[in-house]
C-alpha cells in the first residue's frame, strides 16, 4: 500500500511538473508570437523570460522610441571622452578663476584710477570756473570803460557844440556890425555925392 501511495505521489508530482513545463512553453510561445507582431511588445516578450531585468526593459522601450545610436548620444548621459573633457574643463575653470583677493585688489585699483580721473576733471572745472570769473570781471571792466568813453564823448560833443554855437553867434554879431558899417558908408557916400553936385552947381552959377 505504501509503495502504491509513493508511486501515486511521484506520478502526481511528475504530472504537476510536466503541466507546469507545458504552461511555461505555452507562455513562451505566446510571448514569442506577440513579440513578432509589434516592436513595442518586446518588453512583454522579455518579461516572459526568467532572466528579466528592468534595465533591459528600459533599453527596449528606448530602442522603440529612439534609435540605439541616439541612446548613447543622449544629452543626459555623456560619453567617456566628454566626461574626461568635462573634468578637464572643470579643473581649467577652477584654475582660471581668480581668487577673491585679486578681484578686490583689481576693483580697488580701478576705484583709485577713477578717483584720480574725477579729481583731474574737478581741477579742470575749477580752472574753468576761475577763467569764467576772470572773463566776467574783464567784461564788467569793459562795460565801465565803454560807459566812460560814452560820457567823455558826450562831454566833448557838448563842449564842441557849445563852442561852435558861440562862434556862430559871434560871427552873426560881426556880420550885423559890418552890415551897419556898410549902410553908414553908403549914406556917407550919398551925402558926399550930393554935396559935390551942389558945389558944382554953385560954381557954374558963379562963373
Residue 38: inside a domain: yes
116-166 per-position pLDDT tens digit: 999 999 999 999 999 999 999 999 999 999 999 999 888 888 888 888 999
Residue 178: inside a domain: no
Residue 163: inside a domain: no
d(CA 36, CA 171): 148
- Cβ-in-10-Å burial (0-12, 13-18, 19+) of 57 comes to middle
pLDDT beyond 60 at 198: yes
Residue 101, pLDDT score: 87
C-alpha cell at 169: 553867434
C-alpha cell at 63: 530602442
21-52 per-position pLDDT tens digit: 555 554 445 444 444 445 445 554 554 554 45
68-102 per-position pLDDT tens digit: 454 444 444 444 444 445 545 555 455 567 788 88
d(CA 171, CA 3): 189
Q: Structure pTM?
A: 0.32
Residue 61: inside a domain: yes
What is the chain's percent helix, strand, coil content, to nearest 5?
90, 0, 10
Residue 21: inside a domain: yes
SS3 207: coil
Count of domains for the chain: 1
- The answer to whether 35 and 42 have CB atoms below 8 angstroms apart is yes
Residue 112: inside a domain: no
Contacts of 181 (CB under 8 A, 6+ apart): none
Of 54, 12, 48, which is closest to residue 30 (Cα–Cα)? 48
Residue 200: inside a domain: no
Residue 127: inside a domain: no
Per the structure, the complete domain to which residue 30 belongs is given by 2-79
Amino acid at each position: 500500500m505504501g509503495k502504491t501511495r509513493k508511486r501515486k505521489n511521484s506520478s502526481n508530482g511528475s504530472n504537476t511538473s510536466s503541466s507546469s513545463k507545458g504552461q511555461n512553453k505555452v507562455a513562451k510561445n505566446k510571448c514569442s508570437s506577440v513579440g513578432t507582431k509589434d516592436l513595442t511588445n518586446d518588453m512583454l516578450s522579455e518579461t516572459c523570460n526568467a532572466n528579466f531585468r528592468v534595465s533591459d526593459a528600459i533599453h527596449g522601450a528606448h530602442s522603440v522610441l529612439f534609435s540605439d545610436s541616439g541612446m548613447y548620444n543622449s544629452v543626459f548621459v555623456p560619453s567617456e571622452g566628454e566626461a574626461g573633457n568635462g573634468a578637464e574643463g572643470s579643473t581649467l575653470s577652477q584654475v582660471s578663476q581668480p581668487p577673491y583677493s585679486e578681484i578686490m585688489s583689481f576693483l580697488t585699483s580701478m576705484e583709485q584710477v577713477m578717483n584720480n580721473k574725477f579729481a583731474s576733471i574737478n581741477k579742470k572745472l575749477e580752472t574753468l570756473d576761475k577763467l569764467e570769473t576772470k572773463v566776467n570781471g574783464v567784461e564788467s571792466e569793459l562795460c565801465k570803460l565803454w560807459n566812460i568813453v560814452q560820457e567823455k564823448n558826450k562831454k566833448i560833443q557838448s563842449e564842441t557844440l557849445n563852442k561852435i554855437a558861440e562862434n556862430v553867434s559871434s560871427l552873426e554879431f560881426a556880420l550885423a556890425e559890418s552890415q551897419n558899417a556898410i549902410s553908414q558908408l553908403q549914406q556917407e557916400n550919398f551925402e558926399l555925392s550930393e554935396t559935390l553936385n551942389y558945389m558944382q552947381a554953385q560954381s557954374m552959377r558963379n562963373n
